[in-house]
Amino acid sequence: MAETCPRADGRSADQLRPVRLVQEFMPHPLGSVLIGFGATQVLCTAAMELGIPKWQQPDRGWVTAEYRLLPAATLPRQALRPSGRSEEIQRLIGRSLRAAVDLAKMPGITLIVDIDVLQADGGTRTAGITGGYRALVLAVGRLLATGVLAVSPLERAIAAVSVGLLNGEPVLDLNYLEDVAVSVDLNVVMDDQLNLVELQGTAEAGVFSRSQLNRMLDLAEKGIRELLTCQP
């Protein structure tokens, strides 16, 4: 039975926003996905470069991400320049995507996943992880088809969702108005076995209990299970 909590958009506490995922949205990248979580719209593309970071072991590859909030994604307009927030988010996305990959199976290759937020209404980083993984899958498929990769480095599927405490009750998949109102904000990344990949949470106001955390994780698990089902 769905938990109850008043929400401005009429969703129940355990309900995702409508999810839209359009593959091969652009012709040039190895993989491209337009993903929507409600009004949040994020373009995820994957590209390949030969070579790896100098500090990486020579018999391994690398997966990294770049995150940008485009100027018209919010009101008021945001200048397109690096920020501490953007760098923190792209590190989170990169770590999450690397959890899906066996880097030893792609030696000498770097896969770069670009996350461009076209419209922001909360959950841009979780949409970026979920869509970015799918862009990675498409890119790997093309590299296998062309013989650049001999075997798939993909080990597990991943997806991500936000949860929070709104008026003391856990809610799933926060939009912007909820994101700024919650007392606790939690971003959860899981794999297709519902193992935790990353847990990023903050008490925005006050504190939260272990039992509240458990309830939020239960909601996140439900949402991620649905997101994994949405992926082709």
CA separation for the pair 116, 128 (Å, rounded): 8
Average pLDDT, whole number, for the chain? Answer: 93
The answer for residues whose C-beta is within 8 angstroms of residue 20's C-beta and 6 or more apart is: 34, 35, 36
* Cα-based distances in Å from 130 to 21, 59, 127, 174: 10, 28, 5, 15
Whether the Cβ atoms of residue 13 and residue 7 lie closer than 8 Å to each other: yes
DSSP letter string, 48-93: EEE---TTS-TT--EEEEEEEE-GGGSSS-------HHHHHHHHHH
Torsion-angle region of 108 (φ positive above 0: left; ψ -120 to 50: alpha; else: beta): left
Q: Is the pLDDT of residue 44 over 60?
A: yes
Instruction: State which amino acid sits at residue 123.
Output: G
User: Residues 156-202: pLDDT tens digits?
Assistant: 999 999 999 998 999 999 999 999 999 999 999 999 999 999 999 98
Could you state, in order of their start, the residue ranges of all structural domains in the chain?
19-230
Query: Model's pTM, two decimal places?
Result: 0.94
CA separation for the pair 94, 92 (Å, rounded): 6
Nearest-10 crossing angle of helices 124-145, 84-98: 50
CA separation for the pair 16, 190 (Å, rounded): 16
Q: Given this model, what pLDDT does residue 84 score?
A: 79
CA separation for the pair 33, 13 (Å, rounded): 27
101, containing H or E segment: none
Peptide bond into 170 cis (omega under 30): no
Q: Given this model, what pLDDT does residue 78 score?
A: 77
Residue 232 banded pLDDT, cuts 50, 70, 90: low
- At the second CATH level, the architecture of 19-230 is 2-Layer Sandwich (3.30)
Strand partners, 170: 165
